[in-house]
Amino acid sequence: MDNSKEYIKMCDCPEIQGEHEWEYGDWFMRGDDDGVWRIGDASFRYDVLDENAIPIRSKLPIAIMASEGDDYYLEGIIWLPRQDQLQNMVFKETGLQSMCTAIEQFSKSEVGSGVTIFGTMEQLWLAFLMHNNYHKTWNGEAWQ
């Protein structure tokens, strides 16, 4: 799971945040915190800089699940989609071969030619999703 500052910045856009419905297993980041959190039966915090950090219990994700409509808990939350979630946002019902072909064609296209700026598969799939669904490209700082 990509928890880099770059990926967090890429995910912080209305196209990704606007339609998300929270569910168990979702990863997110609070705007006032350096941690990445996961919603689950027992919710944990993982340090952004150390993927192998020992989990620390937190009440916040449980509060989000208990009070989904409460803006107090949702303010400043940035959802960090997993690769499988990004793929499902583009391809609801398709096979692996179709997905691989599409991402390969994207990476070879003029728009995807900057694919080397993406450090993880989540970043690449997010760029593909934003291009495919919203006709936007990542310039290293923002979606255009």
> Tens of pLDDT along 96-116?
888 889 888 888 887 666 666
Domain count, the chain: 2
The answer to whether residues 51 and 90 belong to one domain is: no
Do residues 73 and 20 share a domain? yes
141, part of any domain: no
Please state the pTM of the whole predicted model.
0.74
Answer whether residue 68 is part of any domain: yes
Is 144 contained in some domain? no
Q: In this structure, are 87 and 120 located in the same domain? A: yes
Over the chain, what is the mean pLDDT? Answer: 75
Distance CA 60, CA 144 (A): 33
Tokens of 33: 């915190």
Asked whether residue 28 is assigned to any structural domain, the reply reads yes
CB 88 within 8 A of CB 20: no
Contacts of 140 by beta carbon, 8 Å cutoff, 6+ apart: 117
Instruction: Give the domain range for residue 11.
Output: 1-80
Same-domain pairing of 1 and 55: yes
Inter-axis angle of helices 83-90 and 121-134, nearest 10:
20
Residues 35-67: tens digit of each pLDDT:
777 776 444 444 444 444 434 344 444 434 434
Local structure of 3: helix, strand or coil: coil
Taking the alpha carbons of 54, 33, 12, 17 in that order, is the dihedral positive or negative? Answer: positive
Cα separation, 51 vs 27, whole angstroms: 13
